[in-house]
Amino acid sequence: MEGLYKEYFVTGTPKIETEYYNGLKEGFSKEYFSNGILKTQYNYSQGKLEGDSHIYYEDGSINRIEKYKNNKLNGDTKIYSSNNSEIPLYIDTYVNGKKKVRKAFSSKGEQIFKIQY
């Protein structure tokens, strides 16, 4: 497969948009809710997840931001509430796909607890 792949809901609204190069996902892959709002945006390099990925609530507000390296979670994943808060509820730190730390925060951004795994 080569080029931009698109899939649509029966209403004609975009469902999936993914770029392929040499048969592998390359660049951004986007999935949409049936209302047309972006649901997920992943970044691929040579078929592997790489860099920042964004997952959204159906109202368009951010649910989580994940960081990938070589197809594994690596770095901080920020998890947000559905009330359009700019302050994450949790920050999970991953190393090579394994969760190492979880920090929880109040609505004011104050750290409530920290767990190491």
- Burial class of residue 89, CB neighbours in 10 A (0-12, 13-18, 19+): middle
Q: What is the mean pLDDT of the chain?
A: 96
Give me the half-sphere count of Cα atoms (radius 13 Å) on the Cβ side of residue 43: 12
**Could you tell me which of 5, 42, 45 has the C-alpha nearest to residue 24?**
45
Q: How many domains does the chain have?
A: 1
Q: Which domain holds residue 36?
A: 3-116
Say whether pLDDT at 110 is over 80: yes
Model confidence pTM above 0.85: yes
Q: List the CATH number of the domain containing 99.
A: 3.90.930.1
Q: What is the mean pLDDT of residues 45-58?
A: 97
pLDDT score recorded for residue 3: 95
pLDDT above 80 for 84: no
- What average pLDDT does the segment 31-44 reach? 97
Determine the pLDDT at residue 111: 96
Q: Look at residue 82 in the predicted model and tell me its pLDDT.
A: 85
Give me 73's structure tokens: 């979670």
Which are the contacts of 110, defined by CB distance < 8 A and separation ≥ 6? Answer: none
